[in-house]
Amino acid sequence: MSDDEIDLTGLGLAEACRKISDLFSQTSIEGAELAARMLLSGATGSSRTDLILSPDRKLEMDASRKLEHFVTRRLAGEPVTRILGSRTFWTLDLHVTADVLDPRPDSETIIRAALEALGVRKDASLRILDLGTGSGALLLALLSECPHATGLGIDLSGAACAVARENAERHGLSDRARVTQGHWFEGLDDTFDLIVSNPPYIESADIADLAIEVRAHDPLLALDGGTDGLTAYRDILRFLPSALRASGIAVLELGAGQEAAVRQLAQAAGLRTRGTKADLGGVIRALVLERETAA
């Protein structure tokens, strides 16, 4: 469907919202009503309150053109967050572009698990490492919760690093967050109190079957975990123990059903499983590790 086939000219806010929501429902787009509201707000600057208190306020011509274009993009499979260029993660509004994974609510499990494992240590002057930082989601959420911590985000994608730096700046965290381009631990000789990572973990053969929102809009580098989905875990776990301080904690995000395999890799690398944490859907999403000789 093209922009020309969607005509929102002259409609009021509520009618436009209803029309878009119906179109999305008819094309089986999940969360049709919320998506319609978010796009309406992004294109017109109107709030939820405006929608309730001024439902008949007519769309300006520019806003209706913009909204029609947003709707066409969503119908073509582009997620709302990418159309609007922003995503709320934890408490932070993050800029997202085509160069970074759209941070998922499931990944907030990593933040919950890390904060639980740190306990009162979260207020110490911790050193945090985020491997495969993407938009900076994990690193920045942790720095926002750990007021005296400093952190390093690493990503193989230079373009992703630029987005993470921009997000650090946006949230006033750039004096505590450094972001560098690199391959996991390569060239790194520092040690850390907390290491987190949400590595690419989808089996290569499964990528073609992912929803269009994922396969066509998340970068392949952020998804592809190799033949068995475990390539990045092997690479990371080989070097992780030597970068973890004696009382340090590592929290890795897991794909569904990967717990046993990653636990085994971690154990072989000399790490002990301290616990796991499930996401809101009940999937074991976070693996919390410490050194065998933890202090």
Ligand X SMILES: C[S@@+](CC[C@H](N)C(=O)[O-])C[C@H]1O[C@@H](n2cnc3c(N)ncnc32)[C@H](O)[C@@H]1O
CB of 175 to ligand X, least distance (A): 21
Backbone angles phi, psi at 140, to 5 degrees: -70, -35
Pattern 99-118, ligand X, x by CB under 6 A: -xx-x---x-----------
Smallest CA-to-CA distance from 76 within 130, 24, 25 is with: 24
Largest CA distance in the chain: 69
Distance between CA 127 and CA 87 in Å, rounded?
26
Q: Which two tokens stand for residue 17?
A: 């919202």
Nearer to ligand X among residue 156 and residue 261 (C-beta): 156
Q: Which two tokens stand for residue 145?
A: 């919760």
CB of 166 to ligand X, least distance (A): 14
Interface with ligand X (CB under 6 A), residue from 155, 193, 279, 290: 155
Restricting to residues 214-243, which ones interact with ligand X according to CB under 6 A?
221-222
- Among 19-27, 37-45, 95-103, 269-277, which window interacts with ligand X (CB under 6 A)? 95-103
List the beta strands (DSSP E) in 182-243.
Answer: 192-197
Give strand pairing partners of 13: none
**How many residues bind ligand X, per CB under 6 A?**
22
Restricting to residues 171-200, which ones interact with ligand X according to CB under 6 A?
183-184, 198-200
CB of 295 to ligand X, least distance (A): 28
Give strand pairing partners of 128: 151, 194
Does position 137 interact with ligand X (CB under 6 A)? The reply is yes
Does position 16 interact with ligand X (CB under 6 A)? The reply is no
Distance between CA 198 and CA 262 in Å, rounded?
13
CB of 91 to ligand X, least distance (A): 15
Does position 134 interact with ligand X (CB under 6 A)? The reply is yes
Backbone angles phi, psi at 129, to 5 degrees: -120, 135
Distances in Å between the Cα of 75 and the Cα atoms of 167, 190, 261 are 28, 46, 38
Does position 157 interact with ligand X (CB under 6 A)? The reply is yes
Residue ranges binding ligand X (CB under 6 A): 100-101, 103, 107, 132-135, 137-138, 154-157, 160, 183-184, 198-200, 221-222
